[in-house]
Structure 1
Amino acid sequence: MMTTPPVGTYAVDLRSGRVGVVIGHEGPYVQMRPYGGGREWDAEPGDVRHATPSERLSAAMAYTNARSRGEVP
């Protein structure tokens, strides 16, 4: 049985493919925020799994690169 990642952990929303930090569980949803901050989104618990170290690194690098290009405040 798959467990929903707890608050504060990195997870992948399988529907969108986005990596984010779990910031809460509200009603039937898992609330997530992108790596580095930004607008949160809701995901179905069955569509969320723990992020692998490689996925976390990829998200961190994408954020760092966007920030260096001035795309992220």
Structure 2
Amino acid sequence: MSAQIVPPDGQEPALVPDPGTLMVDIGRGNQVGEFRGLAGPYWSLRPVCGGQEWEAEPEHVRLADPIERLRAQNARCNARSRGEVL
């Protein structure tokens, strides 16, 4: 389930995805990452195959569609088979 955060300035509440949800950051060229949590006003995302987390503005992030999720999961499996991801 997604949590609901009520901003202090009275704007519409933003739905925050569950950790591990695959998201697409359109502000970074449609890079797919796992939602890791909140970092102030930003969302923290982590590359699917490992690497350094980055922060994205929530308005530039959307849920990954089924084909994007499949590609990301396949990339993770391939990286694991090469020993790049534990």
Question: Structure 1-normalised TM-score?
Answer: 0.76
Greater RCO structure (CA 8 Å; 6+ sep)? 1
Partner of 2:17: 6
Q: What runs of 5+ residues in structure 1 fail to find an aligned partner?
A: none
Closer, same or farther: CA 21–36 of 1 in aligned 2, 3 Å: same
* Larger Rg belongs to: 2
- After superposition, where does 1:35-54 map in structure 2 within 5 Å? 35-54=48-67
Q: For 2:61 and 2:15, how far apart are their aligned partners in 1?
A: 7
Partner of 1:18: 31
Counterpart among 37, 41, 49 of residue 28 in structure 1: 41
- The alignment-based identity, stated in percent, is 50
Count residues in correspondence.
72
Q: For 2:15 and 2:26, how far apart are their aligned partners in 1?
A: 13
